[in-house]
Amino acid sequence: MRVTTVDMFGAAPGRGSAVDVLVPEGPCGEGIAAEAAAYARRSTSDETVLVGEYCREQGTFTSRIFNADGETPFATHSLAGAAACLVHTGLLAPGEVGRIAATCSQHLWTDGHQVRVPFEGRAVHQPIPHDPTLFGPYSGAAHAGGVGRAFNFVRISEDPRALPVPDLERMREVGLTDLTFFRWDPDRREVLARVFAPGFGIPEDAGCLPAAAALALAALRAAGERSAAVTVRQVTRHGSESRFDCTGALGDGQAGVRITGRVWVPGSDDEKASGT
């Protein structure tokens, strides 16, 4: 099985969200899936993507996603890394690439290095389901928002890296999947954010596409604008930094965000090959 570890959205190689992309040499049955699950449990990457079928002519692929907790149905987080890897290694052609699934398909553009990902849907803006002070000594305006689905946000004035880690076990107990602390800088048109997502199997998330889209909308609301370009920097206390260049628009209860980012895929000399 061919294994390539890619870095999604890092401000420099190795500073973003690491994803392992596994491409089997033959049919992708349940035995291979079990190997992928075992690989994910011992990997230090955020997620492991097991590629199933891929079609160069149609620019599509299928995949299953695993993390340390097992298989997850949430595929958007790793979409950019898997697509860029398949293009970079020549399995798919540059251009529009789609991940095909029974429930829905997800498409983006990539040349194997850069990705452009569209998000469109209902503009969600509602109260946060739990008081953030349940999980730590936090203060700031809280809301849940996003494109088509809600992430939980607390707007703060300080650097989010200075804050203590929320009580992740308590979050799991009450069913709060995620909690993000962000600072909006209107002069730099920039969001600085720290994302915790224990409900998605990633205690502290180094770089999340749908969260970045939701943060871009939060920036628009903070600025009182209906459309604008903003930068989202997602950071951790471990030194990682993911960068998302976002163009967003709000209107008539709908939202659209296009994210441009960099995916770092190692060259053939640096790729990890594994029989798992």
- Return d(Cα 263, Cα 15) in angstroms, integer: 11
Strand-strand pairing, 114-126 and 105-110: antiparallel
- Return d(Cα 138, Cα 51) in angstroms, integer: 40
Using alpha carbons, list the distances in angstroms from residue 88 to 56, 81, 104, 129. Answer: 13, 10, 24, 41
Contacts of 201 (CB under 8 A, 6+ apart): 47, 67, 68, 69, 70, 72
266 exposure class (CB count in 10 Å sphere: 0-12, 13-18, 19+)? middle
- Return d(Cα 56, Cα 79) in angstroms, integer: 17
Q: What is the DSSP letter of 199?
A: G
pLDDT in tens, 186-220: 999 999 999 999 999 899 999 999 999 999 999 99
- Return d(Cα 17, Cα 84) in angstroms, integer: 14
Residue 233: which H helix or E strand, with range? strand 227-235
Encoding tokens for residue 230? 């903003």
- Return d(Cα 229, Cα 239) in angstroms, integer: 25
- Report the catalytic residues: 47
Phi, psi of 203 (to 5 degrees): -55, -50
**Percentages of the chain per state (helix, strand, coil), in multiples of 5:** 20, 45, 35
**Are the C-beta atoms of 12 and 72 separated by less than 8 Å?**
no
The residue among 201, 250, 212 whose CA lies nearest residue 40 is 201
Give me the tens of pLDDT residue by residue for the chain, a chain 276 residues long: 999 999 999 999 999 999 999 999 988 889 999 999 999 999 999 999 999 999 999 999 999 999 999 999 988 989 999 999 999 999 999 999 999 988 778 999 999 999 999 999 999 999 999 999 999 999 999 999 999 999 999 999 999 999 999 999 999 999 999 999 999 999 999 999 999 999 998 999 999 999 999 999 999 999 999 999 999 999 999 899 999 999 999 999 999 999 999 999 997 434 443 334
